[in-house]
Amino acid sequence: MREVIQISTDKHNGLYDITEQVRSIVKKSKIRDGIATVYIQGATAAIMIQENWDQSVQTDVINLLKKLIPAGVWEHDHQDGNADAHLKAGIVGPSETIPVLEGDLGLSTWQNIFVCEFDGPRGQRNIVVTIIGSN
């Protein structure tokens, strides 16, 4: 089964929790055991599994990436000014694979699935969720 989640983002850099949307797709699939792949389309955003309890962790992720990959100092900035977004997205990566266990996401208590926006705000980001497994 495959579905596309669409979200909009309101920050230039930010993490957006999509766990419940993915969980809903898993439940709808009726797959009991398998995998869920979450993939974002676009070269300036990423998918990350991260702690869900404390917003400071998400803020720390963004601040770390800003320190490691500053804006405005890369060759690609001469084309469209978003080289840092491409580099951040490349390091974090466009997808995560989560086990489906007994019909639910196999995340731990403190894990959620986040879209990492590095070139926002965006009116629409498309996230492809693919569920593979057995009933």
pLDDT 10s digits, 9-32:
999 999 999 999 999 999 999 999
Residue 127 bridge partners (DSSP): 5, 40
Please check whether residue 112 is in contact with residue 53, taking contact to mean a CB–CB distance below 8 angstroms.
no
Give the torsion through C-alpha atoms of 10, 47, 50, 4, to 10 deg. 80
Confidence band for 90, pLDDT divided at 50, 70 and 90? very high
Buried-exposed string 36-66: b where 16+ CB fall within 10 A, e elsewhere: bbbbbebebbbbbbbbbeeeeebeebbeebe
pLDDT for position 94: 98
Provide the CATH number for the domain formed by 11-128 in this structure: 2.60.120.460
Mean pLDDT of the chain: 97
Share of the chain above pLDDT 90, in %: 96
Confidence band for 67, pLDDT divided at 50, 70 and 90? very high
Domain boundaries, the chain: 11-128
Average pLDDT (60-89) is 96
Region of 52 (left: φ > 0; alpha: ψ -120 to 50; beta: rest) is: alpha
